Structure 1
Amino acid sequence: MSPGDLAAKYGLAVSGARPRLGEYVRQLWGHRHFIMAFSSAKLTAQYSQAKLGQIWQVATPLLNALIYFLIFGVILGASRGMEKDVYIPFLVTGIFVFTFTQSSVMAGVRAISGNLGLVRALHFPRASLPISFSIQQLQQLLYSMIVLVAIVMVTGSYPSLSWLLVIPALLLQFVFNVGLALIMARAGAKTPDLAQLMPFVMRTWMYASGVMFSIPVMLSDKPQWIADILMYNPAAVYMDLMRFALIDGYTAANLPDHVWATGLAWALLFGIGGFVYFWKAEERYGRG
């Protein structure tokens, strides 16, 4: 009798075999408490060795924003076309929102390769790890939003109905980030050296997404298709949605056409596609 016949006779199954997609989703839901606890623990431990502790969650992007303001806003004149009371929240919002995606990607690429001990020791849906890291970055962004709101108000934009648009904008970006983190987690599990390459990729993406400058203004003398490509890339779309929601002087005229539909399309494409892509390699994680 072959091993397959013996397994069928006694109802045995392959250890660590990939479940069906629907069953996999149910398993993830069953591990929701683990996912949330793991993300909270990682967030708490992130700056546990620093004297200022969790203050660095807000201080790091603020220091980045200050440096970019001095170099791009003051020295290089990247703020042209905007008043200072618009450019400052424009820049800070861009830094905070892009950092959300950047951190999710960097955490995702190490989600499996950096936690092999956990992956090999326990049986759980591996997607729990990149999802948990994305939730950790969302929690960190929510802390930073307190400072962002204060900066926006100091520069003259006060709470209005448009601020409610922050919720769907963040939700769309979170779904996009999770999908991208899942894709990078699978790629990083197979090629650990990818973690060394990603900082250069993310830096290039940041400069191409209009974090420090208005894409239409800076590229006004270039062919329109170049600006369109940059404005419709997902990082630029989610920054635009947040800027439109929070900054009074950043009107609909600054947004590309159908920006909400574009944000939804990116979220669904990467959220669903990234999840399925990760799931297809479920049984290979932690092996070899």
Structure 2
Amino acid sequence: MSAPPSSVDEGLAPGDLAAKYGLSVSGARPGLFEYIRELWSRRHFILAFSSAKLTAQYSQAKLGQVWQVATPLLNALVYYLIFGLILDAGRGMSKEVYIPFLVTGIFVFTFTQSSVMAGVRAISGNLGLVRALHFPRATLPISFSLQQLQQLLFSLVVLAAVAIAFGSYPSLSWLLLIPALFLQFVFNVGLAMIMARMGSKTPDLAQLMPFVMRTWMYASGVMFSIPVMLADKPAWIADVLMYNPAAVYMDLVRFALIDGYGASNLPAHVWATALGWALVFGIGGFVYFWKAEERYGRG
């Protein structure tokens, strides 16, 4: 056991004194690989926390978990009435293709939208937990993104039923859902971490994000085919919109599920693009969040 500080130590700088007696800064950020190890050791908590949040989400509603799929389906119905019937946004596609196209777009975009919105409030909305307990703060945005993935998996049953009802029957292409949704999940986690760090210092960001997400939705071809709607515009505009991550992941899921939605509807090198977005945001967002680890919940 180290001896207590004595008069001999009076001339030492605070840093040297701390090093001499093996002291470290309380709440200091661990190294990146140590941080990853701590997260892995809490994987069971992350899964349990996300499941508990999912169960509690609609606990006050009489229909309970039914709203997990009813909400995006009702959104799809509203968008079909406005964009499909009134504005003819499905031009160039039969009803058997357009309705699954629209429902898939709503479900897949909602997955990213909900992850981002939960990420913005991951720290600022859980300050009591952050200040009371010591744990890797990244568990929060990861848990909320995992919650949204679980909700999407429930919704896939309904999405599959819609696809079958309009003539797209199960085939080997449906297996492509696994890598497509996995890459989207990695992308969502990274983006949620970026938003969690930004939202921890700027709580008002949560009020701005619905407008940002709505704009992103309209620019991602949720309700319409981007190449068809922008056929009379410069080609680079359609290219920019088709290669944005939300559009990329939606198109991959549509390609997997819908028989009439062939590879000609996908941008070139779409899988490489999906992987690139997942790596850039997944790794970049994680490092960006980790760098502010010791500042969460302070000030």
TM-score of the superposition, structure 2-length normalised? 0.96
The answer for the alignment partner of 2:248 in structure 1 is 237
Q: How far apart, in 2, do the equivalents of 1:254 and 1:230 lie?
A: 13
Give the deviation of 1:10 after TM superposition.
1.6
The answer for the alignment partner of 1:73 in structure 2 is 84
Give the deviation of 1:227 after TM superposition.
0.2
For these two proteins, the number of residue pairs brought into alignment is 288
1:14 paired with 2:25, answer: yes
1:177 paired with 2:184, answer: no
Give the deviation of 1:4 after TM superposition.
1.8
User: Quick one: which of 93, 109, 125 aligns to 2:136?
Assistant: 125
Q: How far apart, in 2, do the equivalents of 1:208 and 1:19 lie?
A: 39
The answer for the alignment partner of 1:43 in structure 2 is 54
The answer for the alignment partner of 1:202 in structure 2 is 213
Map of 1:142-181 to 2, 5 A cutoff?
A: 142-181=153-192
In structure 1, give the amino acid aligned to 2:232.
D
State the SS of the aligned residue for 2:198. helix
In structure 2, give the amino acid aligned to 1:89.
P
State the SS of the aligned residue for 1:40. helix
In structure 2, give the amino acid aligned to 1:18.
R
Give the deviation of 1:12 after TM superposition.
1.0
The answer for the alignment partner of 2:112 in structure 1 is 101
In structure 2, give the amino acid aligned to 1:22.
F
User: Quick one: which of 263, 266, 281 aligns to 1:252?
Assistant: 263
The answer for the alignment partner of 1:220 in structure 2 is 231
Q: How far apart, in 2, do the equivalents of 1:88 and 1:132 lie?
A: 32
In structure 1, give the amino acid aligned to 2:171.
S
Q: How far apart, in 1, do the equivalents of 2:257 and 2:269 lie?
A: 19
The answer for the alignment partner of 2:147 in structure 1 is 136
Q: Deviations over 1:66-103 (max 9, x none)?
A: 00000000000001000000000000000000000000
State the SS of the aligned residue for 1:12. coil
Q: Deviations over 1:30-83 (max 9, x none)?
A: 111111111011000000011110000000000000000000000000010000
The answer for the alignment partner of 1:84 in structure 2 is 95
The answer for the alignment partner of 2:41 in structure 1 is 30
Structure 2, unpaired ranges of 5+: 1-11
Identity level (%): 85
In structure 1, give the amino acid aligned to 2:46.
I
Structure 1, unpaired ranges of 5+: none
Cα RMSD between the aligned structures?
0.5
The higher radius of gyration belongs to 2
Map of 1:254-273 to 2, 5 A cutoff?
A: 254-273=265-284
1:56 paired with 2:67, answer: yes
